[in-house]
Structure 1
Amino acid sequence: MDQTNWKRNLYILMVCQFFVMAAMTMIIPFLPLYLQELGVTDSQAVSRWSGLIFGANFLTAFLFAPLWGKLADKYGRKSMLLRSGFGMAVVLTLTGFATGPWSLLLLRLLNGMISGFIPAAIALISMSTPKKQMGYSLGMLQAGAVAGGICGPLFGGVMADLMGFRMIFYVTGVTILIAALGVLFLVKEKFERKTETVKTNTLQDFKKIASTSPILSLYIVFFIVQCALIGINPLLSLFVQELTTSQNLAFYAGLAMSVMGFANMSASPLLGRLSDRKGHQYVLVFALLGAALISFPQAFVQSYWTLLIFRFLLGLCLGGLLPSINSLLRHLAPKGMESRTYGFSNSFMYLGTMIGPIGGGWLASIAGIRSLFIASAILLMINVMIVNFKVIPFINKKNRENLNEDKKKAAGESI
C-alpha cells in the first residue's frame, strides 16, 4: 500500500476508534441505574445483574473473536469493520428498547458476539503499515481508543442527566453508525483473497499459531496484563473513599481513572516511535517492569494525591504495552493468518477482562483492597520474566538470522 493510503487509513481509523470507544463507554456510569428503571429495585439484585450484564459482553466477545479473525483473513479486515460497526449500531439502538433485565442481558450477549471493531482496525493498520513504522501507527491507534474511553463516560454521565437513560443508547447507536459509514466511504483496503488448499477448524488454527514461538507467550502476557490492571478498576472507587473524606467521591474516583487514561493516550505514540527504533520487545519489557514497580507502592499510599501521581505514572507505562504486543504479533504471525492471530489475542484479552474483576473482588474480600496492588505488581513481574526469557531471546535470534540473510543477498548481488 502506498505512503498516502496507510497514513490516510490510520488517521481515519483513529477518529473512528474514538467514536466507537466513546459510544461503548457512555453507558458505564449509569448501567446499574438503567436496571433500576427496568424494574430491578433490590440493591443486591442490582449488583448481581450489573456484574452479569457487564461480563456478558466479554463472554461472547471471547468466544467469537477467533471466528471473526478467520473471516477477516478470508474476506478482508474492512469487511469485519463494517460487520461490527453496523451490527453494534443496530444492537445498541435496540438496547434503548429493553423491557427488563433479561432482554438487556440478551442484547449485551449479542453485542459481544458481533463486536470486534477495534481488533479489526488493529489488524487492518498492521497489515498496511510499513514495518518500520508499526509501533508508531499502533500507538496512534491506541491513543484514539483511549481518548474515546476517557471521554465516553463523561459524555454519557452528562447526557443521562439531560435526556434520560434510554436516549443514550440511541445516541451511541448513531455514533457507531457514523464511524461505520466513515470506514465504508473513506478507508481503503487492498485485499487479495487467498484460497485455502486445506480447510482448518478453530482448534487447528490455534495450534498452528500457538506453535509459532513466542506467540503463545505473548498471549499469556496479554491475559496477565488484563487480569493485573482491570481487576483493580471496579474497586478503585472504594479505595479512593478510604483515602479522602470529600463529598465528591464519584468525581475523585473518575479522576483517578481518567488521569491514567490521559497519560496512556499521551505516551502511546511516543513509545510506539521508540519501539520502532529500539525494538518492540525492549519497550514491552521495560513498560512491564515500570508498571510493576509503580503498582507495588500504591498498596501503601496514605494520600489521594499520592495515589493520583502513581496512577498517572502507571498510565505512562501502559502506553508502551499494547502497541508493543500487537506489533510483535504482527511480525510473528504465520503468513495468511494475521487476523486469526489477532483474533486469538483478543480472546485472551477478553478472558483476562472477565477473570480479573472476579479474582480481584475475591482477593479484596479476603485480604483487603490494598492487596490488589501487591497482586498486580507480582503478576506484572511474572510478565517481565516471561518476556525476558521467552520473547526477547527469540526475537533477537530471529533478527540476527534476518540480518545474516540480508548480508548474504547483498554479497550475492555484488558479485
Structure 2
Amino acid sequence: MAMFSLLRRYPALRWLWLIQLVSMAAMEMSGPFWTLHLQQHSGLRGTALSLFSALVYAGPVITAMLCTPLWGKLGDKTGHRWMLLRALAALVLTQAWLAICTDPFWIAAIRLLQGAIAGFIAASQAYGSGITQKAQRQPLMAALQVATAAGSVLGPLAGGLLYGQLGLAAVNWLAAALCLLCIPAAWFCLPDIRPPARSLTSVHEPQQPQTAWQWRDSALPGLLAGIVLIQSAKTLPQSYFALYVSEVLHQDTRFTGLAYGLTAAGLCLAAPLWADAFARWNQAQIRQRLVLLCLASATLMLVQSLWLTPLVFLTCRLLWGVLLGALLPVFYSLISAGSPHSAQGLALALGNSAAKAGALAGTAAGALMMLLIPLHALFYAVAAAYLLTAVCLLYLPVVQISDEEQQHLHFS
C-alpha cells in the first residue's frame, strides 16, 4: 500500500506517525469520563452537570476552530516543526493542570485554553505536507488518520483501566507524561523544514477568477449540510455515554473504555475498504449508499438501546464504527471532486468547519437531552437523528458531478 511505502521512504514521517499516535492516545484517555468525573467529584447534578459537560466537551472544539488557523498561519512563517513542539508543550501543561484541578469552573476554563493553544493535528498535517510531494499527500493524510484512529482506540482502553483504579487525576498525569516524552522525539527526530521563500513568479501570478464556483446549481451547500447532520448524529451521545453505561447498563469504566474504543477501531479498520468500494460506484449509487448507511446506523442505535447482552452492545459499537468509516470521508471526497482546483482549499476548509459545527451541535443537543429525556431512552434520540439524516440526504444535492469525474474520486 502507498501509505506503508511512504512511511518506509521518509524516516521523519515514521517518527511523526508515532508521535501523533502517542499524543492522540494520551488526549483520548480522559475523553469518555469527564461527565462521570464532574458528577462524582464535583457534586454537579441536573442543569449544572449538563452545562459543565457541554463546556468540557464543546468548549475546546470552539476555541480550536477559532485559533487553529492563527497557529497555521504562524507555522507558515516560522516552520511547522515549531508548531508541533508548541502544541505538545501546551498539551503537557494543560493536562498537568487538569490533574491537580477539581473545581468545575477551572476544569472548563482549562479545557477551553487547551483547545485554543494546542492544535497538534493541523500542525502535524502541515509538517508532513512540507516534506512530501503533492502526489504523496493522500497516503500521508491516510497515515496520519490511522495514527489518530489508533490513538482513539488505545487511549480510552488505557484510560478506562486507570480511571477505575486511581481516578481521573492519574489519567491526566499519564497523559501529560506521554506528551512530554514526545517533545524530545520531535526535537531530535523531526528535521526543521523552513517554509520556502515566495518567488517573484508567484507574487505577480494573476489570480484566477472564482466565478466558476457558483453556489447556485452546486452540490457544495448540500454537502456541507450533510456533514453537519452526520457529525451531529455521531457526537450526540458523547455527553452522556459514560453516565449511560454506568447508571443504565451498570457496567464499570473498563467497559466504558472498551465500548468507546471499539467504535474508533471499526472506523480505522473499515475506512480503506469503504474507499475502494465508493470509488467503483456512480453518483446515484453514492447517494443510495449514504442513505442506507444512515438507516443502518439508526438500526444499530435501536439494537444497542435494547441492551440484550454486553456482547451485543459491544458488537453494535464496533459495527457503528465500521459505518462511520464511510460517511465523512465520502463527503470530503465529493467536495474535492466537485470544486475547481483554484477553490480546493476554501471548499475543504468549509467542509472542516461544517464538521466542527456538527460536532458542536451534537454535543450541545446531547447535553440538553439529558434534561429532557430519561437516561435509558437517550439512544433512541440518536436513532431518530440518523433517520432524519437519511431523509434529508434523499433531497439534499449531495452529488452533482459527471460520470467522467467520478473515476477521479479518492476516498482516503
1:4–1:309 CA distance, 2 compared to 1 (3 A): closer
Instruction: State the partner residue of 2:142.
Output: 139
Unaligned runs of 5+ in 1: 199-206, 403-415
Contact kept in structure 2, 1:17 and 1:141, CA below 8 Å: yes
Q: What TM-score comes out, normalization by structure 1 length? A: 0.73
Contact kept in structure 2, 1:294 and 1:310, CA below 8 Å: no
* 1:100-141 Cα deviation digits (max 9, x unpaired): 333322211110101221233334446765666655443332
> Where does 1:266-281 land on structure 2 (aligned, <5 Å)?
266-272=269-275, 278=280
* 1:326-371 Cα deviation digits (max 9, x unpaired): 5666775866984x76665444333222210222454573594313
Instruction: State the partner residue of 2:160.
Output: 157
CA distance in 2, matches of 1:180, 1:232: 34
CA distance in 2, matches of 1:48, 1:234: 10
Instruction: State the partner residue of 2:363.
Output: 357
1:216–1:356 CA distance, 2 compared to 1 (3 A): same
Contact kept in structure 1, 2:60 and 2:112, CA below 8 Å: yes
Q: Which of 17, 25, 30 pairs up with 2:28? A: 25
Corresponding position: 1:371 with 2:381: yes
* 1:244-268 Cα deviation digits (max 9, x unpaired): 6xx4365555444332222112123
Q: Which of 93, 96, 110 pairs up with 1:93? A: 96
1:242–1:57 CA distance, 2 compared to 1 (3 A): closer
1:400–1:287 CA distance, 2 compared to 1 (3 A): closer
> Where does 1:196-275 land on structure 2 (aligned, <5 Å)?
217-236=222-241, 247-248=250-251, 250-272=253-275
CA distance in 2, matches of 1:223, 1:162: 38
CA distance in 2, matches of 1:400, 1:385: 24
Corresponding position: 1:117 with 2:117: no
1:159–1:309 CA distance, 2 compared to 1 (3 A): closer
Measure how far apart 1:397 and its partner are.
6.3
Contact kept in structure 1, 2:6 and 2:139, CA below 8 Å: no
Amino acid at match of 2:15: I
1:163–1:314 CA distance, 2 compared to 1 (3 A): closer
SS of the residue corresponding to residue 154 of structure 1 reads helix
Q: Which of 295, 298, 307 pairs up with 2:297? A: 295
Q: Which of 57, 60, 64 pairs up with 1:54? A: 57
Amino acid at match of 2:178: T
SS of the residue corresponding to residue 319 of structure 1 reads helix
Contact kept in structure 2, 1:84 and 1:117, CA below 8 Å: yes
Contact kept in structure 2, 1:56 and 1:105, CA below 8 Å: yes
* 1:59-94 Cα deviation digits (max 9, x unpaired): 211222333344445555444333322222222223
1:186–1:317 CA distance, 2 compared to 1 (3 A): farther
Unaligned runs of 5+ in 2: 205-210
- Count the aligned residue pairs: 386
* Percent identity (aligned): 25
Q: What TM-score comes out, normalization by structure 2 length? A: 0.73
Contact kept in structure 2, 1:26 and 1:157, CA below 8 Å: yes
Contact kept in structure 2, 1:284 and 1:321, CA below 8 Å: no
CA distance in 2, matches of 1:261, 1:98: 29
CA distance in 1, matches of 2:11, 2:340: 24
Contact kept in structure 1, 2:160 and 2:256, CA below 8 Å: no
> Where does 1:320-331 land on structure 2 (aligned, <5 Å)?
320-325=326-331
* 1:150-204 Cα deviation digits (max 9, x unpaired): 2212222333455554343332223223334433433455742448969xxxxxx
Instruction: State the partner residue of 2:196.
Output: 192
Amino acid at match of 2:318: F
SS of the residue corresponding to residue 389 of structure 2 reads helix
Contact kept in structure 2, 1:228 and 1:380, CA below 8 Å: no
Measure how far apart 1:231 and its partner are.
0.6
Instruction: Let me know the Cα RMSD of the aligned residues.
Output: 4.5
CA distance in 1, matches of 2:138, 2:285: 10
SS of the residue corresponding to residue 326 of structure 2 reads coil
Measure how far apart 1:278 and its partner are.
4.6
Instruction: State the partner residue of 2:400.
Output: 393
